[in-house]
């Protein structure tokens, strides 16, 4: 009897759209699709960290559906590198990951962030899960950068929206990616320039979409939930985003099962 194929799951960045990752994970778990390793950038890093720590997905859904913006947004001075300090998010993720280190997870978990000095995508190996996840979601200009072991990091999605290569390098035979990139039309009125926040987030989305398209052929299965209604820091719509993630994962099941048979 041949050995079972090793499966890696890569979760994309996408702010509030990352809620769809939870629905995907629920369906894969319910259908006994084994996830041997997981990777993620930004919002995908948060969900990957929480899943790898062993947190119950249905408890997680119930909790996230109770959140409102003030639970995650803590304004700070723009001169500190971002308008949101990220301390509230850090505490939430620390609790949901049981304050574990990356090397203590139930499956290998690869979280990456962009090193501001070297411009390289750095995979964390020996830090707290919540610290790595917080660094990976440090959207430039929005969340303050994070310093770990003497180095400053920003959002992993600036370099790899879907971190696939690290899964291949660690032996994944089949890589499933949850792609949250969008092509939402950006409306600009002739008499009024778009705001700084809207322009920044739109530019970030465009950049991520181009990066993802360059890596399309590196996935075996692409799950692409349309949750474009979720904003970068959305909490309203969480239940709907999870439902859509579930539906997309269910449609992908035949393709996944065919690859594993």
The residues that are catalytic are 42, 155
How would you classify the pairing of strands 109-115 and 82-84?
A: unpaired
Sequence-ordered list of residues with C-beta below 8 angstroms from that of 260, at least 6 positions apart, any chain: 4, 5, 7, 33, 174
Task: State in Å, rounded, how far the first CA of the chain is from the last one.
Answer: 12
How would you classify the pairing of strands 37-40 and 121-123?
A: unpaired
Token pair belonging to 199 = 């322009």
């Amino acid at each position: 009897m041949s050995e079972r194929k090793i499966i890696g799951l890569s979760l994309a960045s996408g702010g509030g759209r990352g809620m769809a990752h939870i629905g995907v994970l629920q369906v894969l778990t319910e259908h006994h699709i084994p996830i041997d390793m997981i990777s993620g950038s930004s919002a995908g890093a948060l969900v990957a960290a929480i899943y790898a720590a062993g947190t119950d997905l249905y408890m997680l859904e119930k909790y996230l559906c109770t959140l409102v913006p003030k639970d995650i947004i803590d304004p700070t001075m723009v001169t500190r590198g971002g308008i949101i300090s990220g301390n509230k998010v850090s505490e939430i993720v620390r609790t949901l990951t049981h304050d574990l280190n990356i090397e203590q997870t139930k499956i290998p978990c690869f979280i990456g962030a962009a090193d501001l000095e070297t411009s390289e995508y750095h995979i964390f190996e020996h830090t707290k899960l919540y610290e790595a996840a917080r660094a990976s979601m440090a959207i430039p200009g929005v969340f303050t950068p994070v310093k770990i072991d003497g180095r400053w990091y920003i959002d992993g999605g600036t370099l790899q929206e879907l971190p696939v290569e690290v899964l291949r390098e660690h032996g994944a035979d089949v890589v499933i990616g949850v792609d949250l990139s969008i092509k939402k039309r950006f409306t600009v009125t002739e008499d009024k320039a778009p705001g700084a926040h809207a322009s920044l987030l739109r530019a970030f989305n465009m950049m991520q979409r181009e990066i993802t398209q360059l890596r399309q052929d590196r996935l075996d299965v692409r799950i692409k939930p349309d949750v474009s209604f979720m904003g970068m820091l959305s909490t309203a719509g969480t239940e709907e985003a999870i439902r859509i993630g579930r539906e997309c994962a269910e449609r992908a099941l035949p393709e996944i099962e065919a690859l594993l048979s």
